[in-house]
Structure formats: structure tokens, C-alpha cells
Amino acid sequence: MKLNNIRMLLRAAGKGDSRWEQFVTISFESKNSKPRKKSRLVIQILIGLSILLAAGSMAFMLGVNYYQMEILGSIVGIDGFSWFMGAVTAALITFMFGMFSGGSVLYHGKDLPLLLVLPLTQRELLISRLILHYKANFILHTILFLPSVAVTVLVHGFSLSVIVAALVQIIVAPFIPLSLSLVILHLFVKGKKHSGKSRESWAIIFMLALLVIMQGLASRWMQSGMDSSNLENFAKSFGVVLQGLQRVLLFPKWQMSMAMGNHTFGNGLYFLLAVSAITTGAIFLVATAYGETVTRLWETSTTVRKNNGKSSRSYTGRYALEWALVRREYAIINEHSAFKMELYGEAVIPLILVVVYAISGVMGEFKEMLEPVFGLDIFPMMVAGALLLTASLSMMSGTSYSREGMLLALSRTMPLEGVSFVRGKMVAHLMLFYSTYIIFSLAALAIFNLGLFHALWMIPLGFFVVGSSACFGLAIDGRNPRLDWKLPQQAVKQNLNGLASMGISFGNIAVLTGLGYLLTERLGLPALPSGLLLVAPSACIWWLSWKLAVSGARKLYQAQ
């Protein structure tokens, strides 16, 4: 194995992958225009602040949860329990996202057929793909883990062991969930009798089902194992639960002990040896038939599917054009598992978790916890704001043009105007995220006994907010699409256009939240008239975002 070959592969795959280069080109002006530098700088600053605000809010909420875990741990004599939970959370979510995007890195990169004919060993090629997988998920793992480090420092102060443990774990810990995700994907797709993509999808569905079952069992276990009759019994039963978790989850325990334990060096050595063993074992296992598996999957993906002589059904009604573009949008998403699981997961996973929480009884406890604020006039606005955040923070439209890749050249040959593409892409976005928003809204009104009359303003408000989220994303991605991606995840997760669109959506909701606060708390209006009044500014924002999206699409499809 030659390290120079691995470095060469990484340099070739990382060409044009700089997030800073993506950020400095973000604007509401197209690449071919000559915008004023000041206006471009202002737009970039606003987008950057929106991204930082969204990331900061997420980090703050994680920090609050980790701080609560630290307090509970201190009650039962476990110092640094926030570190333990941060390691568990970061590993679990990184593992899930690693399952979503691992197949695209390992098997579906556009450059793989060319790389297989080069004088490279399978192990060299596989190690380079694992490092690319690591780079794609490193920031996610760091964002999830760092708040627990901050809580530990806040409670226990700085120390050399904390600093060293944090640096080592930020760099090394992501290899555990990512290596495991690649092994599981490889075990599912290495068979020769089935389509690779279908088996890859089944692997991800299997893991999602397993995680849902684990969540439900954990909720039931916590409820049945806790005695809250008095503080002493609560601390005793909770201590038993935490000690059981630490006996099962050795890696997070070693990570916590590296920072807070009495044997920091020994636990750190155990952790590093375990990471090395898992990563090395994953590489040797997957490399056994890696080249053959990639070749077979690419041959399968290029096979033409026959339809038994039957013509496919087509819609020829009034909105046939829009419906065709919507189907085309979903066809592009369904082409790669990284697209499917990233975008469908954003819409469906919250719904799955709500169902699990309802079955396990957590939803009832959550309702009891919120009972003191049920009587507040602003409570329906708070519910709507939380649901709008769930529905609006998506990368679907912010990466829509980028996902087309080289197919965009074919789109430019179609005798269609840019407004037609925008309409089709926005409808596709609404079908996925606005539909789930309606389901969540009606369910929330029923669960919290708020009255269905609030749907009179929540439904139209959601349409304009989710629609403006789609249009702002199209406006950004349409002016600076990232078309030269080699891995599907580079068009979505590693595309800063999607993150910028999420930041703008967060800023949009923040503005509407401020207006809602003024109407209810300052002017004293009830929630119903306040919500109805918010529909007007949300419609104006949607109209502005629509104009930006259409103008960007016209310039994009006219470019040669």
C-alpha cells in the first residue's frame, strides 16, 4: 500500500470541494453578471450570519440538554456524564448519516469506473473512500460533540486531560460509526442476486427500524425502571440506569474517562486501540471483494429496464407540464441513495419519531411537562414556530439544480421557460415538506387541545413559509449551482448552497417570530388574529423569494 497513491486520490476527489470557495461565490447574482462588490458582500454577510445563528441555536439547545444530563449525573455521583451523552449522540447520528451517504461514497462515485482501471490496490482505493466519507461527516460529528465539551469545561473547569481528550476524540472518534456504516452497507450489497441499490436501501431501512425499536425500548425501560416517589429513590433508580448504560456502551465510557477519570491515559489507550482495530478490520473486510462489487453494481445500474411491452402511463391534463417536471425532480432524487435518504429523511424521520414517542408514552409525558404554558396566548404561535422550523430547514430546493449535475445541459435544450422549472421544483418541495407540516399541525392541535380554528392561519402561513424556503433555495442554487460533483453527497450535504438556504429560512422564521411576539405580547392580540395577520408578511416574503427564484432560473437556463 502506497501513501502517495492515497494522497493523489484525495487531492483529485477534493478538487473544487472547498467550502470557503463555495461561500465567497454565494449571491443572488448569477456567475455571469457583474454585481456590485458591496451588494454581494452584504448578501454574503447576511447569509453567513443566518448560518451562524442557526448553528448557534442548535448548539445552544444541545448544550442545554447536555447540561441537564450533567446535573443528573452529578446527583448519582457520575461526573462528566454530559461528555458521555455527547459521545453517544454524536456517534449515533453520525452513524445514521453515514448509512445514508456511505453507499454513494463507496459504490456510486462518478469517478469509480475510471479509478478501477488504474494501477491501484483495492485497499488503497477503499482507504481513500473512507477518508472522503470521514471528511463529509466530520463537521456533523464535531457540532454534535463540542457542546458536551463546553458543558464539561463550564462545570469542571479547564484541565490538560480535558483539552487532550477533546482534541483526540474530535479527530479520531468519527472513524467508529463511519467504519461500522461501511461494513453494514457492504454486507448488504455484496450479494450477486439482487440489485445493489435496492439492497443498499434495505440496509438503511433496516437500520432505521432498529434505531426506532431501540428508542421505543429505551423509553419503556426508563419509565418502568424509574421510581420518582421521592428524591432518594429517584437518584437510586436513575443511578442504576446510568450504570447499566455505561456497562453496555464502553466506547463513550472510555471517552468520558479520558477527560474526567482517574486513569485517563489507560482509558485513552484502550479507546485508540479499539478505534484502530475497528477501522482496520472494516478496511480488510470490505476490501476482500470491493472491486468486484463496484464493477457489478455499475454494470447493474447501466442495464436498461424493460416494461414488458407496456407503455408507461402519462398525465395529459391541464397541469401535465408541471406534473412531468415534478416527476423528473423525484426521479433525480431516487437515482442515488444519498439523495433519497438525505431529503426524504428530513421529512419522514420526525414523523417516525413522533409515532414512536406516542406509542412509548413519551408524548404523554411531554404534554404534561408543557401544561403550565398551555394557557398562554402565545402558545399556539410557539407550536407553529417549532413546526415551521421542522418543515423549512431542508436542503431539497437549495441543492435542486446542483443535483442535476451534467443533466442540466439537457434541461437547457428543453423548450421551456425558467418559470416552469421553478414551479415544478417548488411543487415537488411542497409535496414532501408542506404535506408533513399539515399532518404535524393537525396532530399538534389535537394533542394540545388548541382548537381546530387555529388551522385557519397555520395552514396558509405554512404554505407561504415553506414555499418561500423552497424559492430562496432555488434562488441561491440557481445562480451558483455545483454541477461538477463526483460523489452524490457533494451535491447535497457538502453543498454550501443548501446550508445557505437553510440559514435564510431560519432568518425568515426568526423575523416572523419577532412579529408574532409583538402582536401577542406587546399589542395584546389573541393568537388567532395574530396568526391571521402574520399571513400577510409571509405572503410578501414568498412573493419576493418567488421573483428571485424565477429570475435566477431564467439566467441559468439561458446560459450556454
Per-residue pLDDT, 533: 93
519 DSSP 8-state letter = I
Rg (C-alpha) for the chain, rounded Å, is 25
175-187 pLDDT, tens digit per residue, is: 999 888 888 877 7
Residues 6+ away with beta carbon under 8 Å from 400: 329, 425, 473, 474, 477
Residue 369: how many CB atoms within 10 A of its CB?
A: 9
Per-residue pLDDT, 411: 81
249-270 pLDDT, tens digit per residue, is: 778 888 888 888 777 788 888 8
35-55 pLDDT, tens digit per residue, is: 555 556 666 676 667 667 666
Amino acid at 20: W
What is the per-residue DSSP string for 211-254?
HHHHHHHHHHHHHHH---SSHHHHHHHHHHHHHHHHHH-HHHHH
CA angle 361, 367, 372 (to 5 degrees): 150
Amino acid at 557: Y
407-460 pLDDT, tens digit per residue, is: 888 888 877 888 888 999 999 999 989 998 998 888 888 888 888 898 999 999
Greater confidence, 221 or 130? Answer: 130
Residues 6+ away with beta carbon under 8 Å from 183: 282, 285, 286
Chain mean position to CA 389: 13
What is the C-alpha separation between 375 and 449, in angstroms, rounded?
A: 11
3-class DSSP string for 39-94 = HHHHHHHHHHHHHHHHHHHHHHHHHHHHHHHHHHHHHCCCCCHHHHHHHHHHHHHH
3-class DSSP string for 435-471 = HHHHHHHHHHHHHCCCCHHHHHHHHHHHHHHHHHHHH
Amino acid at 76: V
What is the C-alpha separation between 201 and 356, in angstroms, rounded?
A: 21
Chain mean position to CA 153: 28
Residue with cell 458582500: 41
Q: What is the mean predicted confidence (pLDDT) over 469-495?
A: 83
Residues in the chain: 560
Residue 270: how many CB atoms within 10 A of its CB?
A: 17
**Cell for 305?**
429496464
Q: Does the pLDDT at position 305 exceed 50?
A: no
The mean-pLDDT minimum among 92-101, 105-114, 252-261 falls in 105-114
Residue with cell 399539515: 438
3-class DSSP string for 259-294 = HHCCCHHHHHHHHHHHHHHHHHHHHHHHHCCHHHHH
Per-residue pLDDT, 546: 94
Amino acid at 217: L
Report whether 138 contacts 174 (CB < 8 A).
yes
Greater confidence, 297 or 161? Answer: 161
